[in-house]
Copies of this chain bind each other. A is one copy, B any other.
Amino acid sequence: MVDLDKIISLCKRRGFIFQGSEQYGGLQGTWDYGPLGVELKNNVKKAWWRYNVYERDDMEGLDSSILLNRLVLKYSGHEATFSDPMVDCRKCKKRFRADQVDPNEKCSEGGTHDLTEPRPFNLMFKTTYGPVADENNIAYLRPETAQGIFINFKNVLDSTNRKLPFGIAQIGKSFRNEITPKNFIFRVREFEQMEIEYFVMPGEDEKCHQEWVEARKNWYIRYGIKPENIRLYNQKKEELAHYAKATVDIHYRFFPERPEEDKQFDEVEGVANRTDFDLSCHTKGGKLVLADGREFPNTDATNKLTYFDPKTNQHLLPYVIEPSCGVDRATLAFMMDAYCEEEVKEGDTRVVLKLHPALAPIKVAVLPLKKNNEDIKSTAHKIKKILLGSGFRTVYDDTAGIGKLYRRQDEVGTPFCVTVDFQTLEDNTVTVRDRDTMAQERVAIDDLKEYIAKRIGHND
B-binding segment of A47-55, A220-228, A337-345: A47-55
Quote the shortest CB–CB distance from A405 to chain B (angstroms): 12
Q: Which residue of B lies closest to A71 (CB)?
A: B24
Decide: A392 near B54, CB < 8 A? Known: A24-B151, A66-B173.
Answer: yes
Interface size counted on chain A using CB atoms at 8 A: 99
Asked if A54 and B129 sit within 8 Å, CB to CB, the answer is no
Quote the shortest CB–CB distance from A391 to chain B (angstroms): 5
The CA-CA distance from A32 to B64 in the complex, in Å, is: 4
Asked if B62 and A33 sit within 8 Å, CB to CB, the answer is yes
Quote the shortest CB–CB distance from A12 to chain B (angstroms): 8
The CA-CA distance from A22 to B151 in the complex, in Å, is: 8
Asked if B35 and A65 sit within 8 Å, CB to CB, the answer is no
Chain B residues with Cβ under 8 A from A133's Cβ? 126
Asked if A63 and B33 sit within 8 Å, CB to CB, the answer is yes
Looking at the complex, which one of B26, B28, B67 makes contact with A20 (CB distance below 8 Å)?
Answer: B67
Type the 1/0 row for A41-81, where 1 means its CB is closer than 8 Å to any CB of B.
11000000010011111001111111111011000000000
Tell yes or no: A27 within 8 A of B by CB.
yes
Chain copies in the assembly? 2
Asked if B131 and A95 sit within 8 Å, CB to CB, the answer is yes
Type the 1/0 row for A119-160, where 1 means its CB is closer than 8 Å to any CB of B.
001000111111111000001010000001001101110111
Quote the shortest CB–CB distance from A379 to chain B (angstroms): 15
Decide: A55 near B86, CB < 8 A? Known: A20-B64, A69-B21, A159-B15.
Answer: no
The CA-CA distance from A71 to B23 in the complex, in Å, is: 9
The 5 A-B residue pairs with the shortest CB-CB distance in the complex, in nearest-first order:
A15-B159, A21-B69, A32-B64, A35-B60, A30-B65
Q: Could you write out 30 A-B pairs with CB less than 8 Å apart?
A: A12-B159, A15-B158, A15-B160, A20-B69, A21-B71, A22-B155, A22-B302, A25-B69, A25-B300, A25-B302, A30-B65, A32-B148, A33-B64, A34-B60, A35-B60, A35-B62, A54-B390, A54-B391, A54-B392, A66-B173, A67-B125, A86-B131, A95-B131, A126-B128, A126-B133, A141-B141, A161-B399, A173-B173, A459-B459, A460-B460
